Amino acid sequence: MNYTTNKKYNTLLNKLPIDTELHPMDPDFIDSEYLDNNYNYILFSYTTEMIPTIKSLNKNNIKYIIKTDSFNLDYILIKD
């Protein structure tokens, strides 16, 4: 899939703060530690501003969950 032309991806990305690195849950690119079949996208805490991102997710009624990985870093899983 070409993510730059995917409408759902672009719509979601446009609802997030500028410079947010939104990643599709693609098993070819995302480590298995983060994969979850119930979610479509992932944001890593070191590639986004967490507070503005969470505010944007809430404002736009986007379903998400915050988790912590094996490196003790937070990440956000998002449903589209």
Which residue do the tokens 């870093």 mark? 73
As given in the structure block, the two tokens for residue 76 are 């956000």
Q: Summarize pLDDT for 31-74 with one digit per residue, the tens.
A: 999 999 999 999 999 988 999 999 999 999 999 999 999 999 99
pLDDT value of position 3: 58
pLDDT value of position 66: 97
With bands split at pLDDT 50, 70 and 90, how would you rate the model's confidence at 16? very high
Closest to 62 measured CA to CA, from 12, 21, 7: 12
On the question of pLDDT at 1 being above 90, the answer is no
- Structural domains of the chain ordered from first start: 3-78 (3.90.1070)
pLDDT value of position 37: 93
Which residue do the tokens 């449903």 mark? 79
Q: Collect all residues with Cβ–Cβ distance below 8 Å to 22 and sequence separation of at least 6.
A: 9, 12, 13, 16, 41, 42, 43, 78
